[in-house]
């Protein structure tokens, strides 16, 4: 069997000679030769030279291991084997893409959504803007179809940054429709100055504030945006928008 080794040596010598000599004039032969050389080079073609004795000990030992219940390197399994070699025929550039959702970070994730709102007072004598902050604590399991606002708060102030109201917010987020429906619970406002009462055409010193928020969840951004309405008693009305985002 080992006699094939001289064969290889002769072949290799011929290859080297041919590579040196065939600079021109034998292109067809050269192409074929180089193809064979590529096969042999790097992965040099050799004939196994292991002696019968060493081979015998190898297989006998392995057979003994198998007889003893050994399963080889695969037996210690678990996660995909770390010692496996990469298949060189695989295409590293093949790409399979799709926007991923982190498990549990889908459309209905419980947590605290913080943000703000802005609206404009719709009164005959005033169109002053109103701003404020929103905090909605959504509670429920990831698999749930409906998350409830377990703790919500709205804080509103006017353009002079004077506090108007701090009111609780309740409601639900429907995971199927991705719609938030929530309410600002009726709450007496801070004491209103006379000029604002006149401007708003509401002569109550502490008008009761209530309101409604209706928004849509963007599950990829984990934001809820929508329309916002605040009422001071029945008038005036403040209409605007809100945005809240899931806090880390």
Stretch that binds another protein, among 92-100, 157-165, 222-230, 239-247 (CB under 8 A): 92-100
- Shortest separation between residue 71's beta carbon and another protein, angstroms: 6
- Shortest separation between residue 181's beta carbon and another protein, angstroms: 18
Residues 6+ apart with CB under 8 A from 240: 117, 118, 119, 120, 130, 227, 228
**Of 27, 28, 74, 191, the one binding another protein by CB under 8 A:** 74
181-201 CB burial, b ≥16 within 10 A, e <16 = bbbbbeeebeebeeebbebbe
Binding of another protein at residue 13 (CB under 8 A)? yes
List Cα–Cα distances, 191 to 53, 151, 197, 210, in angstroms. 102, 25, 10, 16
Binding of another protein at residue 28 (CB under 8 A)? no
**Of 63, 125, 127, 201, the one binding another protein by CB under 8 A:** 63
Task: List binders of another protein among 133-172 (CB under 8 A).
Answer: 142-145
The CA angle 200-202-207, to the nearest 5 degrees, is 110
- Shortest separation between residue 187's beta carbon and another protein, angstroms: 34
- Shortest separation between residue 215's beta carbon and another protein, angstroms: 17
Task: List binders of another protein among 191-220 (CB under 8 A).
Answer: 219
CB atoms within 10 A of CB 147: 25
Binding of another protein at residue 101 (CB under 8 A)? yes
- Shortest separation between residue 117's beta carbon and another protein, angstroms: 26
In whole angstroms, what is the distance from residue 170 CA to residue 152 CA? 6
**Of 60, 125, 163, 205, the one binding another protein by CB under 8 A:** 60
């Amino acid at each position: 069997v080992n006699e094939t080794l001289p064969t290889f040596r002769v072949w290799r010598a011929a290859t080297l000679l041919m590579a040196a000599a065939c600079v021109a004039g034998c292109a067809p032969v050269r192409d074929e030769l180089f193809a064979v050389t590529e096969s042999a080079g790097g992965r040099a073609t050799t004939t196994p030279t292991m002696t019968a004795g060493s081979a015998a000990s190898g297989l006998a030992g392995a057979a003994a291991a198998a007889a003893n219940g050994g399963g080889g390197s695969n037996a210690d399994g678990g996660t995909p084997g770390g010692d496996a070699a990469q298949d060189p025929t695989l295409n590293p550039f093949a790409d399979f893409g799709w926007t991923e959702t982190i498990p549990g970070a889908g459309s209905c994730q419980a947590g605290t959504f913080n943000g703000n709102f802005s609206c404009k007072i719709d009164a005959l004598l005033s169109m002053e803007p109103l701003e404020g902050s929103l905090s909605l604590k959504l509670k429920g399991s990831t698999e749930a179809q409906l998350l409830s606002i377990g703790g919500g708060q709205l804080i509103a102030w006017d353009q002079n940054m004077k506090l108007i109201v701090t009111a609780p917010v309740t409601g639900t987020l429907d995971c199927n429709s991705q719609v938030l429906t929530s309410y600002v619970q009726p709450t007496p406002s801070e004491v209103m100055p006379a000029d604002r009462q006149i401007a708003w055409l509401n002569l109550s010193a502490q008008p009761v504030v209530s309101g409604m928020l209706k928004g849509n969840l963007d599950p990829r951004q984990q934001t809820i945006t929508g329309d916002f309405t605040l009422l001071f008693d029945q008038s005036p009305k403040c209409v605007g928008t809100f945005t809240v985002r899931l806090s880390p």
